[in-house]
């Protein structure tokens, strides 16, 4: 049974006693790990296949003969063009891939609502941001292999995810799409940090341009050392100058898009792109995206400036282009290799669902260039 929109995660009816008991449960002791080290479960490939089957089946059930939208983040608040300028004084250890030298890249970014169906912007939700940079050269990640000159980054508006690993990811969507309220509540009863992240991460905002964004999942920056260790980082995007539009009292269905249109009709917008280094691997885990890395112990360091110029982005052709874009953190360079179970699952699941969606819509996959214009 699909989730109730008024109670999409099945919190009603959950036993308060069970929730408290789960929250008090201790965490298992982690073994000593090297920085950047991954731990891949032997059954992960099957888990990813299960995720692909689950999500593709849900799309077919949800849309039938109607054009497929994305499995999550189907509602776009707008696709905007940007300039991504790498700073010239970043730490030497970060100078790899697109950050190897100070230069600028053209790009597209897409703001979105995460709910698997189209909903009013006033509904509490995880918000999403995806970025695609162009004319990126260097040794590429071989999979998915469908784009040769891009670098993608994915973000949500909270530093912790709703699932810690691929098995959690499957369990969440299996309960959401195939379970009832008890199944949905049990998911969180067994995962109190997922409950915390979801309750705090599902928010409303006045304007997507004012949100602070987090990659949640980690990435290697540069090559691994001879012993297999490497420098793992997470990414963050925030306003150059803090500001915040209020939520309008008469917030319409698409008020987030409308708020960006008003702002960008009058001025450019500036964002900082930052990196956070992994600390002690036991406290800064690679394989657990429920974990929030401590910013006091390892602060974010600015490495690039994003400028979103004045623009309009509401034409039908522009929206159709945005609908057919595909984002995947594995679109990119080996120097920015995604790591951890959620990222490994994204590699294959996002490619499979993108292929299904474009094929069902009768769209031929074409790598964008960043030079697209619309009337």
Q: 3-class secondary structure for 205-236?
A: CCCHHHCCEECCCCEECCCCCCCCCCCEEEEE
In this structure, the number of other CB atoms found within 10 A of the CB of residue 178 comes to 14
With contact defined as beta carbons under 8 Å apart, do 162 and 197 qualify?
yes
Structural domain boundaries in the chain: 16-21+44-361
CB atoms within 10 A of CB 84: 22
Q: Residue 9: what pLDDT?
A: 47
Burial class (CB in 10 A: 0-12, 13-18, 19+), 205: buried
Nearest partner of 136 among 374, 326, 368, judged by Cα:
368
Give the pLDDT confidence of 256-310 residue by residue, as tens digits.
999 999 999 999 999 999 999 999 999 999 999 999 999 999 999 999 999 999 9
CA distance 117 to 230: 39
Give 361: exposed, middle or buried? Use CB within 10 Å, 0-12, 13-18, 19+: middle
* Global pTM exceeds 0.85: yes
User: In CATH, what class is 16-21+44-361?
Assistant: mainly beta
> What pLDDT sits at residue 3?
45
Q: What is the pLDDT of residues 70-105, one digit of tens each?
A: 999 999 999 999 999 999 999 999 999 999 999 999
Ranges of residues in the chain with a pLDDT under 50 are 1-4, 8-28
pLDDT at 29: 52
Give the integer Cα–Cα distance in Å for 63 and 67: 7
Q: Tokens for 97?
A: 């891939």
Strands 127-134 and 104-113 turn out to be antiparallel
What is the Cα–Cα distance from 370 to 321, expressed in whole angstroms? Answer: 11
Which residues are paired to 83 by β-bridges?
106, 307
């Amino acid at each position: 049974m699909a989730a109730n929109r008024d109670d999409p995660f099945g919190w009603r009816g959950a036993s308060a006693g069970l929730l408290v008991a789960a929250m008090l449960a201790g965490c298992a002791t982690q073994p000593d790990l090297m920085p950047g080290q991954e731990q891949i479960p032997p059954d992960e490939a099957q888990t990813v296949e299960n995720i692909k089957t689950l999500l593709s089946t849900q799309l077919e059930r949800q849309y039938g003969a109607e054009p497929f939208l994305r499995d999550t983040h189907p509602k776009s608040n707008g696709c905007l063009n940007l300039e991504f300028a790498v700073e010239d004084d970043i730490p030497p250890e970060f100078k790899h891939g697109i950050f190897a030298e100070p230069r600028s890249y053209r790009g597209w970014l897409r703001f979105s609502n995460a709910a698997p169906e189209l909903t009013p912007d006033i509904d509490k939700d995880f918000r999403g941001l995806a970025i695609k940079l162009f004319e990126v050269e260097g040794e590429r990640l071989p999979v998915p292999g469908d784009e040769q000159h891009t670098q993608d980054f994915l973000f949500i508006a909270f530093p912790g995810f709703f699932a810690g690993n691929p098995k959690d990811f499957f369990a969440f969507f299996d309960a959401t799409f195939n379970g009832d309220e008890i199944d949905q509540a049990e998911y969180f009863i067994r995962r109190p940090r997922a409950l915390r992240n979801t309750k705090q991460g599902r928010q409303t905002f006045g304007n997507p341009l004012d949100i602070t964004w987090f990659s949640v999942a980690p990435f290697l920056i540069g090559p691994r050392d001879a012993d297999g260790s490497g420098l793992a980082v997470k990414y963050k995007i925030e306003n150059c100058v803090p500001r915040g539009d209020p939520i309008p009292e008469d917030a319409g269905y698409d008020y987030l898009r409308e708020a960006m249109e008003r702002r960008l009709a009058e001025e450019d917008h500036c964002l900082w792109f930052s990196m956070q280094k992994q600390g002690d691997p036991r406290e800064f885990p690679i394989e657990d995206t429920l974990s929030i890395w401590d910013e006091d112990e390892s602060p974010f360091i600015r490495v690039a400036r994003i400028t979103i110029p004045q623009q309009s982005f509401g034409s039908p052709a522009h929206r159709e282009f945005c609908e057919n874009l595909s984002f995947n953190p594995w679109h990119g360079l080996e120097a920015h290799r995604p790591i951890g179970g959620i990222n490994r699952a994204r590699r294959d699941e996002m490619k499979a669902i993108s292929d299904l969606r474009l094929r069902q819509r009768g769209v031929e996959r074409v790598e964008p260039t960043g030079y697209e214009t619309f009337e």
